[in-house]
Every structure is written in C-alpha cells, then in structure tokens.
Amino acid sequence: MLKILHRLVGITGKYKNRIRASYVTAFIKGVLMKVPFMLSFFVIELFMQDKMDKKLCLYFGIAMAASLVLEAIMEHITNVLQSATGYKVFADMRMRLGDHLRKLPMGYFTEGNIGKISAVLSTDMVFIEENCMGVLSELVSFIISQGLMILMMFFMDIRLGLVSLVFVAAFIVVGNLMLKTTLRHSVIKQEDSESLTEEVLDFAEGIGIIKSYNMLGERSKRLTDEFEKSCRESIDFEVAYGPWARALYLLFGLGVSVMLLVSGLLYTNGIITPAYMVGMALFLFDLFVSIKSYYGQMARLTVTAASLDRIEEVFAAKELADTGKKTLPAAAAPDRAEIEYDNVTFGYTDKPVLRNVSFMVKSGEMTALVGPSGGGKSTIASLLARFWDVGSGRVLLRGEDIRNVPLGSLMDQISMVFQRVYLFQDTVYNNIAIGRPDATREEVEEAAKKARCYDFIMQLPEGFDTVIGEGGASLSGGEKQRISIARCILKDAPIVILDEATASVDADNERAIQEAISELCRNKTLLVIAHRLKTIKDADQILVISGGEIKERGDHEELLRLNGTYAHMVTLQAS
C-alpha cells in the first residue's frame, strides 16, 4: 500500500510539496472529524455528573461549531492542494508524453504500440486523475481518525482498547489479502483494456477495406470478442473483489457487536460508569468506519498500480538521442556532397534491412531510388530524416554526421512528400501553415497557388478556413497530396524527399501534382523514391536497391546500357 502511495506521489514532480502540504491539512482534518464525538462524550459525562451549566454548554457549543467550520476549511484547502494539483500534474504529464513521443524512433509506432499510447491517454491517466489523486489525503485522514478512535478506547478502558486493536489487526490482514487479489486482476484488466483499444482503432481505421471485402461479420466478431473478453475480466475483477469486500463488512459488523458486548459486560460489572457506556454507544458505529473506508479506497488504487506500470512503460521507451551541438554549414564544402551515405547498415530488428549502402548526392541534383518493394528504398530516405538511427556507418549532411546535429536543425533542412498523406482535423490554412507557422496569410495563399490547390480550396464552404476531417477524410487523394506539397513549398527547405507522390492518384490529378512538384523541387536537392520510372529519366543519379543493397547505379542511359535490373524494369513498365 505504501509502495503504491509512494509511486503516486513520485509522479507529481514539481507539485510534490503541495501534495505533502495536503498531508498536514488532512492530518488536522482527521483530528477535527473526531472532535464532535469527543466533545459529545464530555458533555454527556458532565450532564450525568450534574456539573453542566449554561456557560459550559455555550463553550461546548462554540467549540463544536468551530471544529466543524475548521474541518470544512481544512477539507477545502486539502482539495485545492491535492485534487486541483492532480489535474495540473496530468496536464503536465500529457505535455511531457507528447514531447517524449515526438522524440521516439518511428519504429516504436509501427510495433503495435498505438493501442498502448491510446489506452494510456484515454484510460490510465484519466482514471488516476479523476479517481486517485483526490484520495491521497483521505487515506491519511482515515489512518489518523482510526488512530484517534483507538486512543479513545484506551482512554475509556484498556480492555476496550485492546479489543479494538485486535479487530484493526484483523482488518489489516483481510484488507491486504484483498489488495493482493485485486492487484493481480487489475493487471489483467488493464492489459485487456489495451487490447480492446487496439482492436477498436484497427476496426475504425480499416472500415473501408472491411466493407469492401464484405468482412464486417468476421471483423465485427473479433471486435465483439474483445468487448466480451473485457466484460468477462471486469466481472472476474468484481467476483474476486466481492468476497473480500463482504469479509470487511462482516468484520465491521462483528467488531461493532463485540465492542458493544464487551462494553456492556464492563458496565454491568461496574468497571465503567454509565457516562462511559453512553459514550461507547456514541462512538460505536464510527469506531471502524475509517479503516473500512481506507481499504475501500485502497482497492481502487490497485487499478492505479497497473495504470502506472503502463504509463511508465511508455515513458521508458528509448528516445532518439538529440545531443548534437554542431551547426550545419550553409552549403557543402567544394569537395563534399550535400548528402552522403557512408557504408550504412541498418535493421529494425536483428535482421539487417540495409547492408553497406554508400552513395553521394550533390547539391541541386536529383537522386532516384528504384527497385522491388521491400528492397529498402523508404528506409534509406527515412534514415536521412532520422526517423531511425543507423546501426553502423554514417549519414552525412554537408559533411556533418546528422547525429551530431540538433534534430530541430536537421528537420529545418528537409521537406518530405509521401504517397500516404496525413492532414490534421483543422482548417486548410493551418494544415498548410504547419510548414512555416510564422508565415503570413499571403505567403500561405501563394504556396497554395504554386501547389495548384488554391482553386479547389476557394470552392470549399469556408475557403482556407474550412475545417477538414481527421486525416483529410473530406478531401480526395489528389487534393490532400497538393495540400501536403503546399506546406512543403511554404517550408522552402533545401532538401526534398519524394516518395512518388503521383503513384496512387488519378490521371486528372497527376498533371496538377506534377506541376506542384516542379514548383517544390526548383533549385532543391532531391532524393526521390520512384515507382513510375518515366518520372526519373532526367535524374542525375539512379540507384537500384534490392535486398538492402545497391545493385546498380548510374543515369538512365547508363543503366539501360547495362541491360540489368533497371533495364528489365523499364521494359516491363513500357509493355
């Protein structure tokens, strides 16, 4: 229990002192909660001894009212220090998570971790934020209240104190056994939650394919199975928790009954006075409430432990090192290339995807990567943008190893256009302005004109201020592609990576996109992943990539004369 509480406090960071301060106010609140009971006991005793007068009655009334007011004040301060702080803690944590995800290699997002990230953001953080951060001081308050009640029992009679201690010990034993059971089920429950999130995302993202192949029944069954599995585990969690919860309630009833019996025996034997007997009846039903409530809240914290495990697992994912301090020169030295791959070997796992790849790209020139699917073309381009780091060898930009350059400075030099375009659920204007957030509206509109998308944007309901669906769902493939080219034009980076932007668009859009690409690529250094070979006939250098190696290199005419893989690909496409 203390370990879970310690972990919760550990995530509060700079707000840790506010949480610790809440313990002080919770302590005072815990004491004040029992003051009315104690005052009532003394009032009853004075009445029964015929020592009560108007002045004492007034004093006791004022003291009781003051304790209630102070308790309310302490509770308010505790909520401000703790519950409100909890929301600030997780607001900061979400920002830190966003910054952390930004620095992770792309491989992390392709290894089935999207569901985990979604579950952390939508389930784990929300659960702790709403259910647990406000509980910390309550637990402290419960412990203090229970301690005061036991002390009061010892004050009344040592035997009553000892019996109450026995039952508190029994509560601790049963409560800890309950926590062990619920903690085990909490881990399984949270894993099922992650699995369900992944299945829902997979179903939603693939709904078009699922419908087109008439797989709604099959995929819906998989989704339904995940819901049923999650439902079963939630029920199993309650079934495992239920007997222990009932045991705590039975123990509570038994404790109250035994304490009433013991106090009755002590009274009949003349060991305690009538005033003490009445006082005992006053305390009786509040005697074990604190420890029962304590374990009721702690059961909720077992889910927190599993949630914290998953949050910490995401934060533990290794970031790409961004310790570079070197400043890139404005241009490559006369004897150096703009881009250079020096004996690069790389693999997503232990199996290499690229082997000893070496080539150079001069400033202002176009290098095309061609070859069969899975050969390593996209991997080569991704390594230049440091989506991953090389296993061995170096990728150089203007003679500098890109690992020695700050990531921000590196990305300022590169624009990328991919086949699969992603647009954010935002205005068209903001989707283009991502390329350069400080650009003026005139510059954004000029970039749209150069990308051949200005006309269709102006036909949208709100023009540039039209909000498009998530992923650009409300636009055609060609329209999305031209908007993505517009933001690259606006960025105006000296290096452009193109993953054949016209490979999956219709003929009507292809010409407009080719014109937009021509605007984007003017006076730029190009690294092009080519699928349609007719688009790269004028490339300064063509590299044939197959099996993670460069099999052929040269310009179009040189490779045709070789009569190798490239010549065969040209013949196939021509036929």
Same domain, yes or no: 235 and 311? yes
Same domain, yes or no: 287 and 376? no
* pLDDT 10s digits, 69-108: 998 998 888 878 877 777 888 888 889 888 888 888 877 7
- Is-contact 552 544, C-beta < 8 A? yes
Tokens 């605007």 correspond to 519
Alpha carbons 1 and 247: distance in angstroms, whole number: 19
Same domain, yes or no: 10 and 92? yes
Number of domains in the chain: 2
pLDDT, residue 206, reads 66
Would you say residue 548 has pLDDT above 80?
A: yes
Q: Are strands 549-554 and 354-361 parallel, antiparallel or unpaired?
A: unpaired
- 395: enclosing H helix or E strand: strand 392-397
Alpha carbons 210 and 215: distance in angstroms, whole number: 5
Same domain, yes or no: 399 and 291? no
- Is-contact 364 525, C-beta < 8 A? yes
Tokens 């079934």 correspond to 239
Across 4-32, average pLDDT: 80
516 vs 399: which has the higher pLDDT? 399
Across 2-17, average pLDDT: 78
| 457 exposure class (CB count in 10 Å sphere: 0-12, 13-18, 19+) | buried
- 185: enclosing H helix or E strand: helix 158-205
pLDDT, residue 341, reads 93
The answer to whether residue 507 is domain-embedded is: no
**What percent of the chain has pLDDT above 90?**
11
The answer to whether residue 186 is domain-embedded is: yes
The per-residue DSSP string of 327-353 comes to PPPSS--TTS-SEEEEEEEE-SSSS-S
- Is-contact 413 397, C-beta < 8 A? yes
Comparing 213-222, 240-249, 462-471, which segment has the lowest mean pLDDT? 213-222
> Quick one: which of 378, 344, 375 has its CA closest to 359?
344
pLDDT, residue 12, reads 80
Q: What are phi and psi of 373, to 5 degrees?
A: -60, 140
Same domain, yes or no: 342 and 309? no
pLDDT, residue 11, reads 80
The answer to whether residue 189 is domain-embedded is: yes
The answer to whether residue 567 is domain-embedded is: yes
Across 550-554, average pLDDT: 91
Same domain, yes or no: 300 and 359? no
Residues in the chain: 575
Report field, pTM of the whole predicted structure over 0.75: no
The answer to whether residue 292 is domain-embedded is: yes
Same domain, yes or no: 260 and 366? no
Across 146-154, average pLDDT: 84
Same domain, yes or no: 190 and 219? yes
The answer to whether residue 442 is domain-embedded is: no
The answer to whether residue 450 is domain-embedded is: no
Same domain, yes or no: 224 and 357? no
pLDDT-derived band at 342, boundaries 50, 70, 90: very high
Which of 253, 281, 316 terminates a domain? The answer is 316
Same domain, yes or no: 194 and 341? no
Alpha carbons 514 and 477: distance in angstroms, whole number: 14
Q: Please report the sign of the dihedral spanned by the C-alpha atoms of residue 285, residue 287, residue 288, residue 293.
A: positive
pLDDT, residue 506, reads 58
Same domain, yes or no: 115 and 258? yes
User: What does the block give as tokens for 137?
Assistant: 């001081």
Alpha carbons 359 and 303: distance in angstroms, whole number: 53
The answer to whether residue 141 is domain-embedded is: yes
Would you say residue 387 has pLDDT above 80?
A: yes
Highest mean pLDDT among 235-249, 411-425, 544-558: 544-558
Which of 316, 348, 380 terminates a domain? The answer is 316
Q: What are phi and psi of 383, to 5 degrees?
A: -65, -30
User: What does the block give as tokens for 280?
Assistant: 């005992």
Task: List C-alpha distances in Å: 539 to 140, 308, 446, 528.
Answer: 72, 53, 28, 9
Q: What are phi and psi of 393, to 5 degrees?
A: 85, -165
Which of 261, 286, 316 terminates a domain? The answer is 316
- 554: enclosing H helix or E strand: strand 549-554
> Quick one: which of 185, 203, 235, 188 has its CA closest to 115?
203
pLDDT-derived band at 62, boundaries 50, 70, 90: very high
pLDDT, residue 358, reads 93
Q: What are phi and psi of 200, to 5 degrees?
A: -65, -45
Look up the domain containing 128 and give its range.
Answer: 2-316
* Sequence-distant (≥ 6) Cβ neighbours of residue 538 within 8 angstroms: 366, 556
- 149: enclosing H helix or E strand: helix 136-156
Same domain, yes or no: 287 and 395? no
Query: What are the counts of helices (DSSP H) followed by strands (DSSP E) for the chain?
Result: 21, 10
* pLDDT 10s digits, 203-240: 776 666 666 656 666 667 777 777 888 788 778 877 87
- Is-contact 553 522, C-beta < 8 A? no
* Three-point CA angle 311, 21, 183, nearest 5°: 35
The domain spanning residue 185 has which CATH number? 1.20.1560.10
